[in-house]
């Protein structure tokens, strides 16, 4: 995150402390607390269906949970909400948000066990609007606390690792197994791991291809204005083609190459399967990578270049020892954008037979099974957010600790 706002814009002569009534209250925290109360007291926590696609009954927290569990959830989340309204230390805010998240995770499992009759394999219990809203707000509150602590890259990665390990343990323990989304997982567990691997593989390999093509192309084209304009203009137009259409347009030519070029079929080039998806995703990733390279190299200060030339460095030495290291944060920012973008876009591969988590999303849409859609969408969001945190940390490290807070 950038420099603290207050140091950039000093309060003017008429700046005064925010309204006197709010003096003891934290405005952001009060909003969180209000939304938490609303979601748990006025919205249904869970929804129960007799089978996978039937209409469901929405249940409030006190009817979805056994009495003791309902008291524990409402009590602890309520206490956390009350803490958030006060002007307390960031670490306390983080703890309050995190414990609310934890209790909501527990509540989902408890409610599923409570509402599922023993031995029943058809009934479905899923979180309803209240649970989702509370979960998002609690997550925001925890994130707000974390952001106010101004964590360094190490802390951010540690927080990500802690969340991943906790969620992994909970999933493995079978605590949520009675939840509808886990029932969908049980029904697709034979293919889930493979689709996740395909999804990650598509995103990573397309970004690698784009980096291998885009960075050298940008380095070569940058010094020549006409070439640079043409390159960026062409890639810009490539970006405007809707993803579904680009995936579809590539099927025919790739099928033709697979049939007629000797050896191409052995490499996996074919009209169906992951090849069109990989080509399309690489194409989308080219513009951000090339543009970031150009911007990063443009930002290398002129005196630095002159000095490098002055000490007798060759063109190659200047590029690898001066220009590229200085452009690295900008380059990584470009990579972050395309990795997150392509993890999301790889969902479309499911529509054209390319595999990946999109398979579950589109199967779920066509079967009108919302929880199957979630089985594809939630891991996608988790993958995208996780890789954003990792690369943000890498960007912060590449800028150097001292420079991290500079504009």
Partner 1 sequence: MSRATRLAKLALLALLSAFLLTPQSFADLFRPFAPGDTPPIYTQTPLLTLTINQLLLVAAATVAASALAVGFAVAATRPAGRDILPFARALANLGQTFPPVAVLALAVPIFGFGSVPTLIALVLYGLLPVFETTLTGLSGLDPALMEAARGMGLTERQRLIQVELPLALPMILSGIRLTAVIGLATATIGSTVAASTLGEVIISGLLTGNTAYVLQGGLVVSALAILIDTAFHALERAATQRSGFGS
Q: At what angle do helices 225-240 and 274-298 cross, to 10 degrees?
A: 140
Q: Say if residue 28 is exposed, middle or buried (CB neighbours under 10 Å; 0-12, 13-18, 19+).
A: middle
Q: Whose Cβ is closer to partner 1: residue 69's or residue 145's?
A: 145
Which residue's CB is nearer to partner 1, number 335 or number 343?
343
Burial tier of 137 (Cβ tally within 10 Å: 0-12, 13-18, 19+): buried
CB of 371 to partner 1, least distance (A): 7
Angstrom distance (rounded) from CA 369 to CA 363? 8
Q: Which is nearer to partner 1, 212 or 249 (CB)?
A: 249
Q: Least Å distance between CB 239 and partner 1?
A: 8
Smallest gap, in angstroms, from Cβ of residue 322 to partner 1? 29
Q: Which of 29, 40, 44 is nearest to 74 (CA)?
A: 40
Helices (H), 116-179: 129-148, 153-173
How many Å apart are CA 133 and CA 32, to the nearest integer?
A: 11
Q: Between 331 and 347, whose beta carbon lies closer to partner 1? A: 347
Per-residue DSSP letter, 22: G
Token pair of 117 as six digits: 């009759």
Picking from 100, 95, 82, the residue whose alpha carbon sits closest to that of residue 26 is 82
Q: How far is the CB of 317 from partner 1 (least distance, A)?
A: 35
Nearer to partner 1, 166 or 391 (CB): 391
At closest approach, how far in Å is the CB of 315 from partner 1? Answer: 31
CA distances in angstroms from 25 to 18, 37, 79, 145, 190, listed in the order given? 10, 17, 15, 15, 51
Minimum Å gap between C-beta 146 and partner 1 is 8
Compute the least distance from the CB of residue 308 to partner 1, in Å: 29
Three-point CA angle 268, 270, 272, nearest 5°: 110
Q: Which residues bind partner 1 (CB under 8 A)?
A: 1-2, 4-6, 8-16, 18-19, 22, 26-28, 129, 140, 143-144, 147-148, 237, 240-246, 248-249, 251-252, 340-341, 343-345, 347-348, 351-352, 358, 361-362, 364-365, 368, 370-371, 373-374, 376-377, 380-381, 384-385, 388, 392
Q: Tokens representing 263?
A: 């050896």
Q: In the numeric block, which tokens belong to residue 283? A: 């194409």
CB closer to partner 1 out of 50 and 325: 50
Q: Which CB sits closer to partner 1, 161 or 304?
A: 161
Closer by beta carbon to partner 1, 176 or else 308: 176
Q: State the minimum distance, in angstroms, from the CB of residue 186 to partner 1.
A: 19
């Amino acid at each position: 995150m950038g420099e603290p706002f207050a140091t950039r814009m000093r309060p003017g002569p008429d700046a005064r402390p925010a309204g006197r009534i709010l003096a003891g209250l934290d405005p952001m925290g009060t909003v969180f607390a209000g939304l938490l109360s609303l979601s748990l007291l006025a919205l249904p926590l869970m929804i129960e269906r007799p089978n996978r696609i039937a209409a469901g009954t929405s249940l409030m927290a006190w009817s979805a949970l056994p009495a003791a569990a309902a008291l524990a959830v409402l009590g602890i989340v309520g206490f956390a909400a009350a803490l958030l309204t006060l002007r307390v230390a960031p670490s306390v805010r983080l703890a309050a948000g995190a414990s609310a998240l934890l209790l909501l995770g527990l509540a989902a499992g408890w409610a599923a066990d409570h509402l599922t009759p023993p031995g029943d394999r058809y009934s479905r219990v899923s979180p309803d609007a209240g649970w989702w809203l509370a979960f998002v707000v609690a997550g925001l509150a925890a994130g707000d606390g974390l952001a106010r602590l101004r964590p360094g890259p190490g802390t951010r990665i540690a927080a990500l690792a802690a969340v991943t390990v906790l969620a992994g343990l909970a999933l493995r323990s079978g605590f949520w197994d009675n939840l509808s989304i886990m029932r969908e997982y049980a029904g697709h567990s034979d293919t889930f791991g493979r689709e996740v691997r395909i999804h990650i593989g598509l995103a990573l390999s397309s970004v690698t291809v784009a980096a291998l093509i885009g960075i050298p192309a940008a380095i070569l084209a940058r010094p020549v204005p006409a070439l640079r304009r043409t390159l960026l203009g062409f890639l810009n137009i490539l970006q405007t083609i809707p993803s579904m259409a680009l995936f579809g347009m590539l099927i025919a030519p790739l099928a033709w190459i697979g049939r007629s070029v000797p050896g191409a079929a052995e490499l996996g080039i074919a009209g169906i399967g992951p090849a069109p998806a990989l080509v399309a995703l690489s194409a989308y990733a080219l513009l951000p990578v090339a543009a970031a390279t150009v911007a990063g190299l443009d930002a290398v200060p002129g005196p630095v270049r002159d000095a490098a030339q002055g000490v007798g460095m060759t063109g190659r030495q200047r590029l690898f020892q001066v220009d590229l290291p200085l452009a690295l944060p900008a380059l990584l920012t470009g990579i972050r954008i395309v990795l997150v973008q392509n993890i999301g876009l790889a969902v479309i591969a499911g529509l054209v037979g390319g595999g990946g988590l999109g398979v579950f999303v589109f199967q779920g849409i066509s079967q009108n099974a919302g929880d199957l859609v979630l089985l594809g969408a939630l891991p996608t969001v988790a993958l995208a957010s996780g890789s954003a945190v990792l690369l943000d940390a890498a960007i912060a490290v590449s800028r150097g600790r001292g420079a991290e807070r500079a504009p």
